[in-house]
Structure 1
Amino acid sequence: MQNNIDKRVLKVIYSKEELEKRISELALWVNETYANTEGLIIVGLLKGCVPFLAQLIKDVTVDHKLDFMIASSYAGGSKSLGSVKIIMDMAEEISGKDVLIVEDVIDSGITLNKVKEILETRNPKSIRILTLLDKPYRRKVALNADKFGFHAPDEFLVGFGLDYQEEMRNLPYIGIFNKEYL
């Protein structure tokens, strides 16, 4: 695999195989958690969730609807700006429904916390959060995922949905970005 590593990646920390295995385990959690649910809505936070969500729903066996939101506290760079902008809202009505927010990474938690606050005003039956990567040591708000794939290191990560200036999301692995390319 080392020969196929993007030159902007210092080190792969989660291989394609490791990601696939863990995401299958997370899908089992979704199936168990929502086994007796009617009206599950899975909300993907774009753009980073796409590879994770696409892989996840292959193994999700409970009926669900998919919807998406775009919210950002980043401006195409590598640091959270702190203020949150809702760029695209979801289309589905969530009142009385179970909502599962799917995110690629929780870092400061600012963006996701704002999204959760907005969705709570719409009276869902429940809201849970599933993230592929968790960086709890970076939190600026009191927010935790209900389930996560991996505790991620305090590094700038790219691949599998994670980007640098909207690029590198397509890498089939997650790696540490080489800051020489900043």
Structure 2
Amino acid sequence: MENNCTFGEVVITEEQLKQRIKELGAQISKDYEGEEILVIGILKGAVLFLSDLIREITVDTKIDFMAVTSYGASTKTSGVVRILKDLDTGIEDLNVIIVEDIIDSGITLHYLRDYLLGRMPKTLKICTLLDKPERRETDIKADYTGFEVENKFIVGYGLDFDQKYRNLPYITCLEEGTK
């Protein structure tokens, strides 16, 4: 699909983000009523989303972080997944929710899901702010999805290009040549 978004054009507004995150938090709270969960934020992109999401969850919630990459300073995945930071917490017999900023090709998340399942959690679910199913190269699906987006390179609200644009309070797309 052609990228027809102008940089700075708001694809998802700050208000839309707040509303959908509130709904996701309510759904997770309902699904885990009476249970404790461990949310694993995938650095760095999911930090803003995770921070807002856990404030909307009403069950006991612990957090941990992982840093995983298959992109580097590119807009296309390399296909090689590297764990840059592993968990500080054991996850055996815990209800675990991986919190991701976006599922694109699915390569990184597929690898991560299988990697964490090997640690024997009680449950393992995936919560993503954005889903780009058109680009999927693996069989991976989120249990909780904020928004489905078109095949555009998007930035803002934690998502970056070469560490830039994470601080935008909304989501926009990055055009070829934009730096």
Query: What range describes the TM-score normalised by the shorter chain of this pair?
Result: over 0.9
Tell me how far 1:57 sits from its aligned partner.
Answer: 1.1
Aligned position for 1:126: 123
Residue of structure 2 aligned with 1:77, choices 55, 74, 97: 74
Cα separation, 2, equivalents of 1:83 and 1:43: 21
Residue of structure 2 aligned with 1:89, choices 69, 75, 86: 86
Aligned length: 174
> Could you list the runs of 5+ residues in structure 1 that have no partner in the other structure?
1-7
Are the counterparts in 1 of residues 25 and 56 from structure 2 also a CA contact under 8 Å? yes
- Which ranges of 4 or more aligned residues in structure 1 deviate by more than 3 Å? none
Tell which deviates more after alignment, 103-112 or 8-17: 8-17
> Could you list the runs of 5+ residues in structure 2 that have no partner in the other structure?
1-5
Aligned position for 2:23: 25
| Residue identity opposite 2:86 in structure 1 | D
SS in 1 for 2:173: strand
Residue of structure 2 aligned with 1:156, choices 133, 141, 153: 153
Tell me how far 1:75 sits from its aligned partner.
Answer: 1.0
SS in 2 for 1:153: coil
| Residue identity opposite 1:141 in structure 2 | T
Aligned position for 2:106: 109
Cα separation, 1, equivalents of 2:22 and 2:16: 10
Residue of structure 2 aligned with 1:9, choices 7, 10, 13: 7
| Residue identity opposite 1:127 in structure 2 | L
> What does the per-residue CA deviation read over 1:58-83, in whole Å, with 9 as the maximum and x for residues that have no partner?
11111011000000000121111101
> What does the per-residue CA deviation read over 1:83-120, in whole Å, with 9 as the maximum and x for residues that have no partner?
10000001111101110000000000100111111101
> What does the per-residue CA deviation read over 1:29-61, in whole Å, with 9 as the maximum and x for residues that have no partner?
1101111313x1100000000111111111111
Aligned position for 1:176: 173
Give the TM-score normalised by structure 1. 0.92
Are the counterparts in 2 of residues 10 and 178 from structure 1 also a CA contact under 8 Å? no
| Residue identity opposite 1:112 in structure 2 | L
2:134 maps to 1:137: yes
Aligned position for 2:50: 53
| Residue identity opposite 1:14 in structure 2 | I
